[in-house]
Structure 1
C-alpha cells in the first residue's frame, strides 16, 4: 500500500490562526505537533517506509512542509513530494499522484493507495490503522473504500454517507448526501445507517483509472495522453473538481467502512472546542490563561496573559495581530469576518500573512514596525543562505542572538566575508550587495533592524539565489 497525503489545501476557517499563507494543516493548536505532522506520524504506522508516502502540496507551502518535516526529524528526501503548480482540488491532485506512481515509480496497477487529507484530527492511531487495513481488503476486490464516521450528534457541518448492503467489514454506498439541515441531520442520526463523510479513500490504481475513464473523461485523457512532466506543465488545464463530484457520487464501486473513533476535519472553532481536552469547568485553555467563574469556553492564547471573569460559552483566540471573540456555536461566521477584512484596504493583508513568514532558508517574525523602521527576528536553517541582494531605501543592522553568521558584503567593488558571532553585530548600508549565510550546525537566530524611508518587502533586488527566485 502507498499513502498519498494531500497537503495543498488553503483556507481561513480557523482565522486568525489560519491564514492564506499558513493554512490549518500547519497549525499547532494545542501541542507541539501540527495537524500535518500528526498525519505523517499516522501514515508511517500504515506503510513500511517513508518512501511509501507521497505528499502533494503547492509551491506556496513547500517551505512550511520542509520546515515541519525537519521538526519531526525527517527530511524532504525521505518522502516523495509533488508540488502542484496551481491548486486544482482533490480529483486532479489524486490523478497527479497516480501518474507519478505508475510512471516514476513503476508501481503495478493492482497496488492500493490510501488517500488522506493532512488537516484532520484522528484518535487513536492504532484503531484507525486497523480500519485502513479493512479498507485495503475491499480495495483489492475492486471497491473504492471510503471511511464513514459514526455520528454522535445531528451535525450540519459534514456531508453524510448512506450505507446499504453489507460487504466484508463495510457496506455498499447507497448515496452521498450534502451537508444537511438540522432536521435532516436528526433524521440521519435516528436511521442509524448514515455516517459522516471523512474525505478519505482507499482504492487500487486500476480501479481509480477505470472510474476516471467512466465518470471524468477529461481527467482520464490528461493522465493517459501526457507524461508526468507534461501533466505538471498543463496542470492548470485540469478541471477544478473534488474527487467526490468527479467519481464518488457517480461510481457503483463505492463502499464505506464505518469508524467508531474520534475524528474531526477541524472545520470551525466550534469543532476545535469539541475535540480538545477540557478542565472541570468544561473550558479549553491553551497558553497563559487565568479564568475566574468561566465555563464552557475556549481560550487560546499566544504571548499575552488572557484573563476571563464570569464568561460562558465563548471562544477567544489571540495572535500577535488579531484577537477573535465569538459566541460558541457561531464558528461558521468566521468567514464573514474574513470577508469584511478582505474588503478593508488597510486590513486585507491580515487574511494572507501571519507575523511569522516562512522562506526556503528559514523564517522571520515581525516584532515591531513603525514610520521609517521595522524590527524582525530571523531564523536561518543550518547550511542555508539568503539571496545575494540589495535594497534601495533601507539599511540593515544585524545582531546575532544564537549561532554564527557569515555575512558577504560588496564594499568598493570588492567582495568581503565577515563571521559574526553571538552578541556581535554588523551594519549593511543602503544599495550594498549582501548575503546572509548560516555556515554552522545549529539554527542561526538574529535580530534585524531596518531603517529607511521605505521598509516594505518589495524593496529587494536579487542578483543570485540558490532557490531560483531571481
Structure 2
C-alpha cells in the first residue's frame, strides 16, 4: 500500500496565522509539529517504509515540504510538483502515473489518499482503520472514511450510509454542507457521517471508474508518460474526486471512524481540539487572563491580556490581530475577501512578516518610503541566487555565523570574501552579488535596503541553485 498525501492547498481560513504562501498544513497549532508533519508520521504507522509515501504539492510549497521532512526522509522523498492546481481527481491520477513509472507498482496496488491538514488521534487506532480499509479495497471497494458526528456541524459535508457491506456500509448518498436544522436531522438519524476527504482503493478499481466517469482524465494518464502528463497538466479538468467518481460509482463504501478527527477548518474547530484550562480557555503565547472563560487566545509576539470576557477568539501575529466572537469563525473567509480587494492590505493575505525561501527565510523588521530592514536566515550549505537590484543598495551585518559573499567590482569581475559575526559589507546598486552560508549553523544577518524602490520585484537573477532564473 502507498499513501498519497495532498499538500497543495492554499486556504486562508485560519487567517492571520495561515496565508496563501504559508497555508494551514504547515502551521504548528500549539505544538512542536505542523499538521503536515503529523499527517506523514501518522500514515507511516500503517506503512512499511518511508518510500511508500507520495506527497503532492506545488512549486511554492516544495521547500516547506522538504524542510519540514528533512529529518524523516533524507533523500528518499517521493515528491510530485503540480504545475497548476487542478483539484483532487487530477492529483490522484498524477499520483497513479508516478506510482506506475517511478515506483514500479502494479494495478493491484492499494492507495490511501488523505489531506495533509487534519488533526486525527490516536495514531495507532487510525492505523488500524487504514489496514481495514486496505482489506476492503483489495475486494474492489472504493473506501471513504466517515467520522461519527458528535454535534450538528454545518461546516462539513455528510455521507449517508446504506446497507452493510463487509465491515463498512454502502454509500447511499453524499450531502453538501447542511444548515443547522438539517445537520440536527442527520445527527438524530444515526446513519450520517462527516465526510473526512480520505479514501482507499486499488489502482485497478479507480482506473476503471476514471475510464467510466471522467474519460478525459483516464485517457491522459493512459496514453502519456508521467513527464507528458505533468507538461499537459493545466489541461486536466478542475474537478474533485467526490464529483468525478465518488458520487457516481456503485463501488463506494463508508468506513465509520470512531476517533478524534477535525479538518481544523475554522478557529472554532481549533478551539474544539486543543487542550483547555480550568476556565475552558485555550491559551498559547504570552497570555494573562482575568475573569476570562471559554475563549481562544493565541499570541505570537506581544503580551495579550483579557479581562472579563467570555466566548472570545483573539489571534495575534506580528502584523495582524483578529478578534471574533466564538461561533463566528466561518466569517474569516469574508474578512480575507475584504483584505484581498484592498490594494493596501492584499499582501497580508499572501505573506507573513516572515517569508520562507528555498535557502531559508527573511523577516521584515521595518519599512519606510525609501528603506527596508530585514532579518535574513540562510540555512547551512544554502545560497541565494546571483542577482542585482537596479533601485536599491544593501548593507549586510552578520549577527551569527559566517557569510561567504560574492560581489562584482567596477569591471564586472566577481570576487569572493568572508564576513563574520559583527562584521559587515556593502552592496551598491546595479552590482551582481550572492550570499552563501558555507558553515554548519544557520547564518543570521541584518539587511538594510536603501533606494527609491525597495519592493521584492526589483531583482534580476543570473544564476540560481533552485532554478528560479
Separation in structure 2 between the aligned mates of residue 367 and residue 45 of structure 1, nearest angstrom: 42
Separation in structure 2 between the aligned mates of residue 245 and residue 238 of structure 1, nearest angstrom: 15
Match of 1:78 among 72, 76, 100: 76
Aligned to 1:4: 4
SS for the counterpart of 1:81 is strand
* TM, length-normalised to structure 1: 0.98
Aligned to 1:418: 417
SS for the counterpart of 1:279 is coil
Separation in structure 2 between the aligned mates of residue 355 and residue 107 of structure 1, nearest angstrom: 43
SS for the counterpart of 1:302 is coil
Task: Check if 1:469 corresponds to 2:458.
Answer: no
Aligned to 1:371: 369
Aligned to 2:15: 15
Gaps of 5+ in 2: none
Aligned to 1:58: 58
Cα deviation 1:247-285 (Å, max 9, x = unaligned) = 001111111111111100111111111111111111011
Which region of structure 1 is more displaced relative to structure 2, 423-432 or 364-373?
423-432
1:103 positional shift: 2.1
The count of residues paired between Structure 1 and Structure 2 equals 468
Cα deviation 1:411-447 (Å, max 9, x = unaligned) = 1323221111122222212222111001112221111
Separation in structure 1 between the aligned mates of residue 31 and residue 365 of structure 2, nearest angstrom: 23
What is the 5 A alignment of 1:97-108?
Answer: 97-108=95-106
Separation in structure 1 between the aligned mates of residue 379 and residue 167 of structure 2, nearest angstrom: 47
Separation in structure 2 between the aligned mates of residue 130 and residue 464 of structure 1, nearest angstrom: 49
Aligned to 2:178: 180
What root-mean-square deviation, in Å, do the aligned CA atoms of Structure 1 and Structure 2 show? 1.1
Contact 1:52 1:79 in 2 (8 A): no
Separation in structure 2 between the aligned mates of residue 111 and residue 51 of structure 1, nearest angstrom: 14
1:102 positional shift: 1.2
Aligned to 1:248: 246
Cα deviation 1:161-196 (Å, max 9, x = unaligned) = 111222222111111111111111111111111110
1:78 positional shift: 2.0
Aligned to 1:392: 390
Task: Check if 1:46 corresponds to 2:46.
Answer: yes
Aligned to 2:297: 299
Separation in structure 1 between the aligned mates of residue 402 and residue 410 of structure 2, nearest angstrom: 25
What is the 5 A alignment of 1:28-427?
Answer: 28-70=28-70, 73-75=71-73, 77-413=75-411, 414-427=413-426
Aligned to 1:436: 435
Which region of structure 1 is more displaced relative to structure 2, 395-404 or 34-43?
395-404
Separation in structure 1 between the aligned mates of residue 289 and residue 81 of structure 2, nearest angstrom: 44
Contact 2:50 2:73 in 1 (8 A): no
Separation in structure 2 between the aligned mates of residue 107 and residue 280 of structure 1, nearest angstrom: 52
SS for the counterpart of 1:184 is helix
SS for the counterpart of 1:291 is strand
SS for the counterpart of 1:92 is helix
Which region of structure 1 is more displaced relative to structure 2, 245-254 or 459-468?
459-468
1:106 positional shift: 1.9
Separation in structure 1 between the aligned mates of residue 419 and residue 46 of structure 2, nearest angstrom: 46
Separation in structure 2 between the aligned mates of residue 232 and residue 444 of structure 1, nearest angstrom: 36
SS for the counterpart of 1:102 is helix
1:75 positional shift: 4.5
Separation in structure 1 between the aligned mates of residue 387 and residue 340 of structure 2, nearest angstrom: 32
